[in-house]
Amino acid sequence: MQVAEWRKTIGEMVRDHMRSPELEHYFSVKMTKPRAQLMITQLGLYIRHRRDCWAHVSANCPVMGVKQAILQHEYGEVIKDDFSDFGHLYLIIKQAEKLGLTGQQVVETKPLATTTATLYAWAWLTHAKSWIEGVSELTVTEWTNDDRLLGDIGGGHSTRMGKRWTEDMGIPWRDMPNFVVHAQADEEHSDMFLPFLEKYATGEKEQLALNAVQESLDLFALYRGGVAEAMEKING
- Global pTM? 0.93
* pLDDT tens by residue, 125-173: 999 999 999 999 999 999 999 999 999 999 999 999 999 999 999 999 8
pLDDT at 63: 98
pLDDT computed for residue 76 by the predictor: 79
Between the CA of residue 226 and those of 31, 143, 231, what are the distances in Å? 15, 20, 9
Counting residues of the chain whose pLDDT is more than 70, the rounded percentage is 93
Residue 221: closest CA among 48, 19, 77, 11: 19
Domain segments of the chain as ranges: 3-230
Q: Which range (72-76, 173-177, 180-184, 219-223) has the least confidence?
A: 180-184
Predicted confidence band of residue 183 (pLDDT cuts 50, 70, 90):
low
In terms of CATH architecture, what is 3-230? Up-down Bundle (1.20)
Strand ranges for the chain from DSSP E = none
* pLDDT score recorded for residue 82: 61
